């Protein structure tokens, strides 16, 4: 008899929701995940942005160089080949456009380190149509450093003339134009370094006026100036778009630079796509590729726009790239426009007039008359200015002459030395003249003694009228002033180059 076995029922499977905690990792809280993600992004985000902006900035420089030397030269040559007509223009308005953005300076006070300057002029010309036309041009964009002067500004770009307006005496009237925001900043901030003038400038705006006030240089520049010829080339079909003839010729005959393009462009593209891949790492491949290619179509207009976009990634490095792009073709820059659209055409105006401001009580007391014809050289113009100042000083009474010499000495002590050379012969004459009163002689002697005491306004080979200034200094060696006798007044210098 067989025994029947009964099967033991299998143990029921453990339901999923009854799984033991030891076999499955518990999820992190949402707030903790978010916090960790943000911390990582905050830590490495600036690093990735810096890497991207370095690659993109270098790419922009390389691609711009490639474009300017290859396609741009070919396009310009084809465009300007249609400028077959010629016209003579004349400058009717001129200024120096000084640009700087106070908002981008932060806490910096050296505003000139952020400023750029470009000479601008409005040119009027007559063609075969009825009525005269006007066109504005703004030339080379340079750093507006402390070495930038106004009296010797003769070209807005190589071989493209520039000229200042002249006043009723024939002296130049230098003019700077700045934005309202820039003027407000200058008027409300102290000079970066104290200037030893008396009284000292109250703000950076007054310091700028004082720094660029050169009465003798401005007077000589005006008396030697000749009417600048401004030859223009124009397309007969579009005469209003006239350009300087020299500029057009340079564009048409520019040497080919396609070999530069062939070398530089591939490197620029490589850097560009590498930088875009870093910046767009989170996008799908197709979208990232599209976003990288589209900006390449705007290469001709990169100069002012792409660096502005890079400021969102790294403002300091973007500023460096902007400066590098501006330096790629410094002397070739010439921006043409309608007069009302020229750089700072409607800006705040700062005008320098000879004999005003700090030199009103010295140079401003002399009445100068415009010569009938421009002087043959800067030295002869200096001589005429000195002769005028000497004769009019001689005609003053004793009180006026004494006050004038005392003021000139005070100006020398206050480092306002740019007008005194006009009156040195008058002081020598007053000191040696037997008819001069003792008070006048003493004032003249103290002026001359101070004039040869350091710091001395010694002639520099780059000064206008250098030879005439050296001759004046050497002549002081014969003057009977204890501080001068036996003292070398001016160093031996090489013969000055002829100045016009």
- Please state the domain extents for the chain: 43-354, 357-478
Q: Is the pLDDT of residue 20 over 60?
A: no
pLDDT score at 220: 97
Q: Are the beta carbons of 98 and 132 closer than 8 angstroms?
A: no
Which residue pairs, CB below 8 angstroms and at least 24 apart, start in 453-459? 453/483, 455/415, 455/417, 457/417, 457/418, 457/420, 457/421, 458/490, 458/491, 459/490, 459/493
Q: Which residues pair with 175 in a beta bridge?
A: 351
CA distance 302 to 61: 10
Say which range, 2-11, 154-163, 292-301, 432-441, has the weakest mean pLDDT.
2-11
- Tell me which residue has tokens 């008058």: 426
- In this model, does residue 188 exceed pLDDT 90? yes
Alpha-carbon dihedral angle through residues 333, 339, 345, 349, given to the nearest 10 degrees = 110
Quick one: average pLDDT of 420-433? 90
Query: Mean pLDDT, to the nearest integer, of 407-423?
Result: 93
Tens digits of residue pLDDT in 469-492: 999 988 888 777 766 655 544 444
Instruction: Please report the sign of the dihedral spanned by the C-alpha atoms of residue 333, residue 336, residue 339, residue 344.
Output: negative
Q: In which band, very low, low, confident or very high, does the pLDDT at 285 lie, cut at 50, 70 and 90?
A: confident
Q: Residue 113 has what pLDDT?
A: 87
> Does the structure show a pLDDT above 60 at 353?
yes
Residue matched to tokens 């401001």: 357
Q: Return mean pLDDT, the chain.
A: 83
**Residues 431/391, Cβ–Cβ less than 8 Å:** no
- Which residue in this structure is represented by tokens 């002033």? 481
| Band of pLDDT at residue 498, cut at 50, 70 and 90 | very low
- Return the number of other C-beta atoms located less than 10 Å from residue 114's C-beta: 18
> Among 16-30, 38-52, 77-91, which stretch is predicted with the lowest mean pLDDT?
16-30
Locate 232 and state its tokens. Answer: 């223009």
Q: Which of 55-69, 82-96, 276-290, 444-458 has the lowest mean pLDDT?
A: 276-290
Q: Please tell me the distance from the alpha carbon of residue 422 to that of residue 428, in angstroms, as a whole number.
A: 12
Query: Whose CA is closest to 465, among 388, 381, 384?
Result: 381
Query: What are the helix (H) ranges across 134-284?
Result: 180-187, 204-211, 215-223, 245-252, 258-279
Mean pLDDT score, 368-396: 95
Cis upstream peptide for 455 (omega within 30°)? yes
Q: Could you tell me if 423 and 459 are in contact, meaning their C-beta atoms sit under 8 angstroms apart?
A: no
pLDDT of residue 154: 94
What's the rounded mean pLDDT across residues 347-365?
A: 95
Q: Does 277 have pLDDT greater than 50?
A: yes
- Per-residue model confidence (pLDDT) at position 500: 40
pLDDT value of residue 312? 60
Look at 39-48, 104-113, 272-281 and tell me which has the smallest mean pLDDT: 39-48
Contacts of 323 by beta carbon, 8 Å cutoff, 6+ apart: none
Answer yes or no: is pLDDT of 36 > 50: no
């Amino acid at each position: 008899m067989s025994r029947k076995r009964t099967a033991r029922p299998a143990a029921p499977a453990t339901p999923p929701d009854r799984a033991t905690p030891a076999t499955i990792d518990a999820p992190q809280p949402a707030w903790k995940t978010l916090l960790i993600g943000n911390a990582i992004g905050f830590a490495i985000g600036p690093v990735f942005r810096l890497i991207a902006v370095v690659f993109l900035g270098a790419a922009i420089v390389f691609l711009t160089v490639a474009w300017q030397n290859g396609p741009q030269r070919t396009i310009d040559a084809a465009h300007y080949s249609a400028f077959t007509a010629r016209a003579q223009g004349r400058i009717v308005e001129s200024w120096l456009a000084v640009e700087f953005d106070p908002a981008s300076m932060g806490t910096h006070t050296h505003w000139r380190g952020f400023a750029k300057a470009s000479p601008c002029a409005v040119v009027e010309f007559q063609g075969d149509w009825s009525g005269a036309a006007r066109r504005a041009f703004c030339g080379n964009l340079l750093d507006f450093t402390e070495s930038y002067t106004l009296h010797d500004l003769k070209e807005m770009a190589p071989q493209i003339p520039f000229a200042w307006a002249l006043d009723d005496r024939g002296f130049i009237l230098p003019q700077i134009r700045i934005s309202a925001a820039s003027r407000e900043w200058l008027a409300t901030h102290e000079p970066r370094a104290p200037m030893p003038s008396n009284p000292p400038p109250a703000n950076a705006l007054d310091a700028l006026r004082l720094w660029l006030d050169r009465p003798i240089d401005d007077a000589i520049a005006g008396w030697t100036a000749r009417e600048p010829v401004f030859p223009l080339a124009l397309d007969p079909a579009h005469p209003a778009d006239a350009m300087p003839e020299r500029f057009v010729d340079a564009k048409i005959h520019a040497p080919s630079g396609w070999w530069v393009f062939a070398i530089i462009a591939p490197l620029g593209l490589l850097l560009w796509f590498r930088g875009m891949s870093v910046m767009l790492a989170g996008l799908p491949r197709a979208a990232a590729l599209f976003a990288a290619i589209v900006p390449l179509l705007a290469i001709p207009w990169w100069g002012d726009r792409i660096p502005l976009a890079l400021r969102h990634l790294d403002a300091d490095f973007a500023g460096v790239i902007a400066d590098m792009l501006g330096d790629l073709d410094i002397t070739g820059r010439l921006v043409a426009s309608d007069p009302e659209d020229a750089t700072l055409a409607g800006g705040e105006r700062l005008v320098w007039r000879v004999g005003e401001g700090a030199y009103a009580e010295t140079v401003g007391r002399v009445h100068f008359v415009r010569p009938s014809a421009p002087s043959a050289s800067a030295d002869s113009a200096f001589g005429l200015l000195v002769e005028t100042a000497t004769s009019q000083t001689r005609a003053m009474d004793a009180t006026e002459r004494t006050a004038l010499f005392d003021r000139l000495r005070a100006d020398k002590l206050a480092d306002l030395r740019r007008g005194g050379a006009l009156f040195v012969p008058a002081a020598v004459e007053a000191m040696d003249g037997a008819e001069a009163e003792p008070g006048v002689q003493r004032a003249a002697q103290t002026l001359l003694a101070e004039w040869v005491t350091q710091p001395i306004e010694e002639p520099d080979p780059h000064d206008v009228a250098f030879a005439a200034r050296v001759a004046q200094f050497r002549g002081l060696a014969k003057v009977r002033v204890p501080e001068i006798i036996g003292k070398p007044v001016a160093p031996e210098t090489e013969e000055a180059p002829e100045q016009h």
